[in-house]
Amino acid sequence: MASLQGKNLIVPGDKSITHRAYFFGAFSQGTSRIINPSPALDCLSTIKCLSQLGLDFKFDDGDVILTCQGINSLQRPQETLDAENSGTTLRLLMGLLAGRPFTAAITGDESLQRRPLKRVSEPLRQMGAEFELTDNMHAPVVVHGNSLEGQSFQIEHSSAQVQTAIILAGLQAEGETSCVVPNKVRNHTRNMLKHLDLPMRSSSPLQLGVFGLKSQISPFEMIVPGDISSAAYFIVAASLLSGSDISIDNLGIDPGRTLVLDILSKMGASIEITNTRLLCQEPVATVSVQHKNRLNGITIKSGELATGIDELPVLALAGAFCQGKFIVHNASELRHKESDRLSLLVDNLKSAGVSIKSSGDDFEIEGSLTVPGGSLWKTSGDHRLAMTGLIANLLFEQPVEIDNLDCIAVSYPAFKADLDLIKV
C-alpha cells in the first residue's frame, strides 16, 4: 500500500473565494489583481460570463487582472450566459443580475440544469427581481433585473451560495438587506466585505446584512489561500495510509469550511495546525498530517454538514477503514450537487465491498481493515466522486475503474499529477 510524503505541499487557490473576488470586482471602478486564483474550470466559467457583461480579464503569470468601471457599467449580454457546470456561477449571477436594468438569460450543462434554483429566485423575487425558470425550478433561467428593495430573510437551507446571491443583490438595493442561515456556513462573503471595507451588519455568526452602495468600490488586491476542499483528499489519504507525513502551506481554514479537519480529529487523526494568521481577512495556516493509528468511528449530525458537504465523499473513505461505525445523518444536500452524489457514493462503496447501508438521506458504514475494490466507480461526471475514486485506489485491495477522470478539471485540473508527486 502506498503512503504520501510531501512537505510544503501547495494546493490551488480556493475556488469559492476566487468566484467571489470576480463577482465583487463587478462593483469596483478600476483595475484589481487576484493573486493565486483557482484554475478550476468553474472559475473560468465565471470569467466568461462576467466578460460578456463588460468586465475585462487578463492573465498575468498566474494572477488575474480584472478591470471594471463599476456596477452601472455592466451591459446586457448579446448571448445567453453559459455557467457550464458551475452552480456557484449560476446562483451568484442571479444575485448580480437581479438589480441590473436589463434582461439576461443563463444556462448550464445537463448536470447544472438539474440543480434547484427556487431557493435563490424566491428571495430575489421578494426584493423586486423577476425570473423565468424552467419548470419553475431549473435553468435555463431568464433574469429580468429591476430596482430592488432591501429585505430581511431567514433561509431554510444552510447555503453560502444563496446567502451570497442575496448579498450581491442587496448591494444594489435601497436600504438594508439581511440574510440569516440555520447553521454555520463558509464566511468568504463576510470576509470579502471586510477586506473591501464595505459597511455591513452582523449580529451573530449566522446573520449577514449589507446596505445598498451609494458609490463604486475602489479596486483591490486579493490573495487567495489554498482550497481546503482540494486539500481534503490528501488529508484523508494521509490519515489512512501507513507512513504518510504531509504538510500543506497557506491553506484556508475558515471555520465554515473545516468539516474534514474537525471530523478526522475527532476520529483520532494526527493533525497539527500551525502558523495561523489572516490573509486578506481569510484565516490561513499550515496543516500537517501524519498517519498514527487506525481511526475511530463517529456520528456526523446534519447541522455539521454545511461546513464541508463537498468533502463528505472522501470522508466516507475514512469511515470505510475506521474502527466501529461511521454514521451520517441527513446528507440530503448531496443529492443536489453535480450528481445525486449520495446515491452514487453509496452504490460505489457497496460495489467495492464496503459494508454500507442507507435509509433516506442517512447512511451508515461498518468500518473494516480491508476493502476488496476491483469494481466500476461511477461518477456521472462529478469531479468530487472522481477524485474520491483516485484516493480509493490508494486504499482498496484492487483498484476501481473510474468511468470519468476528465471531470476533475472542473475544480482541480492538476489533482492526479499532484497526487502522483507525493505518492511513494
Q: What is the CATH number of the domain that holds 64?
A: 3.65.10.10
Q: Is residue 285 part of a domain?
A: yes
Domain span at residue 20? 15-223
Is 267 domain-assigned? yes
**Are residues 21 and 83 located together in one domain of the fold?**
yes
Does 66 map to a domain?
yes
Final residue in a domain of this structure, among 223, 248, 275:
223
Q: How many domains does the chain have?
A: 2
Domain boundary among 223, 246, 272: 223
Kindly state whether residues 42 and 165 are assigned to the same domain: yes
- My answer on whether 212 and 76 are in the same domain is yes
Q: For residue 1, is it within any domain?
A: no
Does 377 lie in the same domain as 264? yes
Looking at 193, 223, 253, the residue that finishes a domain is 223
Verify that 124 and 254 share a domain, yes or no. no
Predicted TM-score (pTM) of the model is 0.95
Could you read off the pLDDT tens digit of each residue along the chain, which spans 424 residues? 799 999 999 999 999 999 999 999 999 999 999 999 999 999 999 999 999 999 999 999 999 999 999 999 999 999 999 999 999 999 999 999 999 999 999 999 998 999 999 999 999 999 999 999 999 899 999 999 999 999 999 999 889 999 999 999 999 999 999 999 998 899 999 999 999 999 999 989 999 999 999 888 999 999 999 999 999 999 999 999 999 999 999 999 999 999 999 999 999 999 999 999 999 999 999 999 999 999 999 999 988 888 888 999 999 999 999 999 999 998 887 776 667 899 999 999 999 999 999 999 999 999 999 999 999 999 999 999 999 999 999 999 999 999 999 999 999 999 999 999 999 9
Question: Is the dihedral angle over the CA atoms 277, 279, 281, 283 positive or is it negative?
Answer: negative
- Do the domain assignments include residue 140? yes
Q: Are residues 218 and 230 in the same domain?
A: no
User: What residues are annotated to the active site?
Assistant: 310
Same-domain check for residues 390 and 351: yes
